[in-house]
Amino acid sequence: MADAHLTDVSFTHLHLPDTLARGIADAGFERCTPIQAQTLPRALAGFDVAGQAQTGTGKTAAFLIAVYSRLLRSEVQPTRRANAPLALVIAPTRELAVQIHSDAEILGQYTGLKLGLAYGGVDYEKQRRELEEGVDILIGTPGRLIDYYKQHVYDLRSIQALVLDEADRMFDLGFIADIRYIMRRLPSPDQRLNLLFSATLAQRVLELAYEHMNDPELVRIEPEKMTVDRVRQVIYFPSMDEKPRLLVGLLRSVDPRRTMIFVNTRRGAEDLENLLRTNGFNAEAISGDVPQRKRLRMLRDFHSGELAILIGTDVASRGLHIPDVSHVFNYDMPQDPEDYVHRIGRTARAGAEGDAISLGCEDYVQSLPDIEAYVGRALPRAALTEDLLADITVPARERRRFAGPGGGHRGGPGGPRGRGERPRGGRDGGRRISGPRDDQRRDRTGPGRPPAAAERSAEPPPPAEPRPPETGGAPAEAGAGGDAGAPRKRRRRRRGGANRGAGPGGGQSSPPNATPEG
């Protein structure tokens, strides 16, 4: 960690258990971050804490150290069942749960405490078996936790420590009823350590804290420190036509070795992935529609540097601790000011430096005043010059679409190449893309009518051919009011109607392979 990001409080002064102190040393931690320095002394003394912490400031290590210390210093209950965990950590997203588990493995590698994971999307039976065999610290997401609990896979009566991470995100994702369901089945608040962390301690979060915690102490980050000081922030104001060209031009100029790009919709993320890959960038979009195994593979590749660009929505802006993210792009400006802070917090983590570049297009720039009021400063403006706008190649399957990730406007990833260039005619996926040739085929005979159709409409209909009289059975036209001079095709259609018994005189039965209606 950079020295400017740390306090004078040393981990050695906290008198932690030796096995835990060894894991902390292996992780490279020597001095506490501000959130750690303010919450750890209280939590280690047994007091509940509700903390407001900006992203990338070490809050995960803060609550893990407090939980490990609590469990190592407490006596094992003789009535504890084999499948009863001692601590429960609840996270709103699968990625955050996996990240917490990874950090817990490092910090607790010498403690002898067993970790368990429960999250949706993969390994249902594997996770179930691990919990049935018994774990000491259970980390998971609300849905999978409740699923296993209702099946009596694990027991909650021995819980000594509870952690709610990203509590405000729990509300945003609609998990608050699930959280209350779980908390009502735990031992009473005065019999356990309760830690709640949230980006904002809004009233709804405080109500949850006071309802299910034991008189928690509030720890807040000052509003003027809401954004990470070491993030270089800038905003451009492109038109929708210029937006994809500007992004590609900026990416080519900054060497995107580990870059995150945020959009507001999942469809926008997919469109942007197609655009960037078509233009030579190693980029992938992460969203809720992506299978969990593929999501984890993306994150591993991004961690290792094999994947240069990760595209996502605000779900991806929470809980992803990825070192050395060099750039964050807000391709779509977030509509919630808090999401802006979380997005740019993906870079400049643990005191490092980073860049956050926003594109204020006409679709989403309306949120800029609220963002600037929330962070307490105006975002530096950057001039948009012609040399920043790159020539781009539009993905083949997107050429006939004029909607970008923000939706509804020209110039997004699926929009025209350059400024207002019309897509050329051609075939894509078996569907013809209309182009100039279709216009050239039009004739003066009327709007939208090709010449061949006009000539056909001017020809008189061919004369009706006389038919010999039917020789057997009831005449088909009798039941349908037929006309002897009607064309053969019409006669066949009416005969079929008579065969189905649809009219007087239709005495013939239906054919054997006919399907009755209704």
Cβ–Cβ < 8 Å for 157, 84: yes
- In this structure, is residue 499 part of a structural domain? no
Does 246 score more than 50 pLDDT?
yes
For Cα atoms 23, 29, 30, give the angle at the middle one, nearest 5 degrees: 115
- In this structure, is residue 493 part of a structural domain? no
Higher-pLDDT residue of 401 and 305 is 305
Average pLDDT over every residue of 295-312: 88
| Residues 253, 212 within the same domain | no
Cβ–Cβ < 8 Å for 407, 261: no
Q: How far is residue 360's CA from residue 182's CA, in Å, rounded to a whole number? A: 42
| Residues 167, 273 within the same domain | no
- pTM of full prediction above 0.85: no
Supply the pLDDT for residue 349: 59
Count of the separate structural domains present in the chain:
2
Q: Tell me the Ramachandran region of residue 415: left when phi exceeds 0, alpha when psi lies from -120 to 50, beta otherwise.
A: beta
Last residue of a domain, one of 409, 436, 463: 436
Supply the pLDDT for residue 423: 37
Supply the pLDDT for residue 316: 59
Last residue of a domain, one of 403, 436, 469: 436
314, amino acid identity: D
Supply the pLDDT for residue 317: 56
44 confidence band (pLDDT: 50, 70, 90): very high
- In this structure, is residue 361 part of a structural domain? yes
Q: Mind listing the pLDDT tens digit for each residue in 385-438?
A: 999 999 999 887 665 544 444 443 444 453 333 333 333 333 343 333 333 434
Q: Mind listing the pLDDT tens digit for each residue in 341-391?
A: 878 877 765 556 788 999 999 999 999 999 999 888 899 999 999 999 999
| Residues 193, 85 within the same domain | yes
| Residues 267, 237 within the same domain | yes
Cβ–Cβ < 8 Å for 269, 313: yes
284 confidence band (pLDDT: 50, 70, 90): very high
Cβ–Cβ < 8 Å for 27, 107: yes
Q: How far is residue 361's CA from residue 373's CA, in Å, rounded to a whole number? A: 19
- In this structure, is residue 155 part of a structural domain? yes
Q: Which CATH number goes with the domain that contains 180?
A: 3.40.50.300
Does 194 score more than 60 pLDDT?
yes
| Residues 11, 107 within the same domain | yes
Range of the domain at 291: 231-436
| Residues 71, 22 within the same domain | yes
- In this structure, is residue 34 part of a structural domain? yes
517 confidence band (pLDDT: 50, 70, 90): very low
Q: What is the distance of C-alpha 480 from the center of its chain?
A: 61
Last residue of a domain, one of 221, 252, 285: 221
- In this structure, is residue 174 part of a structural domain? yes
Q: Mind listing the pLDDT tens digit for each residue in 90-126?
A: 999 888 899 899 999 999 999 999 999 999 878 899 9
Does 278 score more than 70 pLDDT?
yes
Cβ–Cβ < 8 Å for 356, 339: no
